[in-house]
Structure 1
Amino acid sequence: MMRLDKFLAEMGIGTRQEVKKYIRKGMVTVNGSPALRPEEKVSETSDQVCFEEKPVSYVKYEYYMLNKPAGVVSATEDRRDPVVVDLIREKKRKDLFPAGRLDKDTEGLLLITNDGALAHRLLSPSHHVDKTYFVRVEGKVTGAEKKILEAGVDIGENGTEERTRPAKMEILASGPVSQVLLTIREGKYHQIKRMFQAVGMQVLYLKRLSMGKLTLDPALAPGEYRPLTKEEIASVTDENAGKY
């Protein structure tokens, strides 16, 4: 059971103060009767709550797979640029956030949710969740670079050593512009760009394809999203999901 005003506010009907005004104006009903008080207790599962005669169903957690486009910031708000949560138009909850970050110019898989415990498991360094990226690089990537990057490189700055954990790489094409699949265990700032800089190469394009057991749906164009399936939710909420 929870307070009616909290129920409505969490479902994005308005702020707590706005919701209280709606209740006093008779715009909210519970099981067909006008709600009388904001503090009235309702069941999230069995009571029928309506706002302006439209049912409001309660959802504790939401999970969306987004194919993040370039130019959008992995944040809940930004003064200059559009943010990823604003791309989720059908969201019910107002407390969604990106579970992890992708650089502004990076595309690909981003999980949008309000499940803080899940986000902690996916992002915690102790869990070492796989993150696989498609990378287009200026320069010829050979077995020599593969060996170095897989072993871990120093991406520190100003004389400070900062070594990456061992990675996995598959070379898809090697030439003036090379293409690789790179799987890392962590998510340091600009990590993949800095890894290739450490071997004298520049990343031209970067797209995340998977995170743990969650793989980007190829049917999603950049900027498109969909709710996770029940099977996908089960895979990401598994505490051992994606571990090496």
Structure 2
Amino acid sequence: MRLDKYICRCTELTRSDAKKYLKRGAVLVNDELIKDPGHQVYEESKVTLAGNLLSFASARYIMLHKPADCICSNVDELYPSVLHLVEVDRAFDLHIAGRLDADTTGLVLITDDGQWSHKITSPKKACNKRYRVQLSKPIREDAAQLFEQGVQLQNEPKLTRPAKLEVLSEQEVLLTISEGKYHQVKRMFAAIGNRVVGLHREQIGDIELDQELDLGQWRYLTEEEVNSIG
């Protein structure tokens, strides 16, 4: 982790304030004077700020049941950020591990552990995500086979990775994908001549949305849930 970010995690300082302390020569790492904000430090590093030993705060792992009309971003835009819903200290220091569109509901994972988040979002990790999808018209009979083979999205050079489709009714399906292209689920159904009218994420990896959480509610992940992302 960058030293300036480490200082922010351990204190109430902003990134700008942390850099001012570094510039003044007020920070030691393992008893060595460090002024570089990008200097890499670790949980076990001994960091002192103006003579005070800093204590590294444990990473936070949160599950949110995202409602519609909010966005997975650290800044408000046309819609407010989902981080307004997470009532913790310095919520906007957290980041969202795998985004959802403003009109999409369901499971969102939020953390300040960058390596853990990377395991979810990196294309190389192929972390599965399961969605419940409502469609504008009946699903075609060969849809599952097409998704298993991969479909061609507009303006994409390659087919999508194999995806699993489970038909619940003529116009409701479960879709599991292992990548996260822009608007991918909507574009996949558009590619086979259908339109998504409702989209809800139920699962990321082995972590399922807690059915006890109403829209807009959140909880910390259990240790087992955190460790399931590997």
Pairwise same-fold verdict (TM > 0.5): yes
Displacement after TM superposition at 1:233 (Å): 1.4
- Does the alignment pair 1:199 with 2:174? no
Question: How far 1:138 sits from its partner (Å)?
Answer: 1.2
Residues 213 and 91 of structure 1: is their aligned pair in 2 closer, same or farther, counting only changes over 3 Å? farther
How much does 1:71 deviate?
0.8
Q: What's the offset of the Cα at 1:190?
A: 0.5
> In structure 1, what residue type is equivalent to 2:12?
I
Which of 167, 174, 189 in structure 2 is aligned with 1:171? Answer: 167
Which residue of structure 1 lines up, in the alignment, with residue 88 of structure 2?
A: 90
From 42, 52, 70, the counterpart of 1:41: 52
Equivalent runs, 1:107-186 vs 2, <5 Å: 107-157=105-155, 161-174=157-170, 178-186=171-179
Q: CA deviation at 1:156?
A: 2.1
Is the CA contact 1:62–1:114 (under 8 Å) kept in the aligned structure 2? Answer: yes
Structure-1 separation of matches of 2:91 and 2:105: 24
CA, structure 1 residues 12+105, in 2 after alignment: closer, same or farther (shift >3 Å)? farther
What residue identity is the alignment partner of 2:220? P
Report what 1:65 is aligned to.
63
Q: CA RMSD in A?
A: 2.4
Q: TM-score, normalised by structure 1?
A: 0.74
In the alignment, the residues of structure 1 paired with residue 223 and residue 119 of structure 2 have an alpha-carbon distance, to the nearest angstrom, of: 19
Name which one, 1 or 2, has greater alpha-carbon Rg: 1
Native 8 Å contact 1:138 1:203 kept in 2? yes
Q: Deviations over 1:197-237 (max 9, x none)?
A: 0111000100110010111101111111001111111212x
* CA shift digits 1:32-65 (9 cap, x unpaired): xxxxx95123252xxxxxxxxxxxxx52310100
Gaps of 5+ in 2: 21-47
Structure 1 CA distance for aligned equivalents of residues 185 and 222 of structure 2: 29
**Are the equivalent residues in 1 in contact too, given 2:143–2:165 (CA < 8 A)?**
no
CA contact (8 A) 2:135 2:172 kept: yes
Stretch of structure 1 that moved more, 93-102 or 108-117: 93-102
Counterparts in 2 of 1:86 and 1:14: CA distance versus 1, 3 Å: farther
TM-superposed deviation, 1:14: 4.7
* Normalised TM-score (structure 2): 0.78
Q: How many residues align?
A: 197
- Say if 1:72 and 1:81, in contact at 8 Å, map to a contact too: yes
**Distance change (3 Å), C-alpha of 1:184 and 1:140:** same
Residue of structure 2 in register with 1:232 after alignment: 225
Contact 1:11 1:92 survives alignment (8 Å): no
Q: Encode CA deviations 1:136-174: one digit per residue, 9 max, x unaligned.
A: 0111114312211222100123xx544111000110011
SS of 2:131's equivalent? strand
Change beyond 3 A, Cα 1:92–1:79: closer
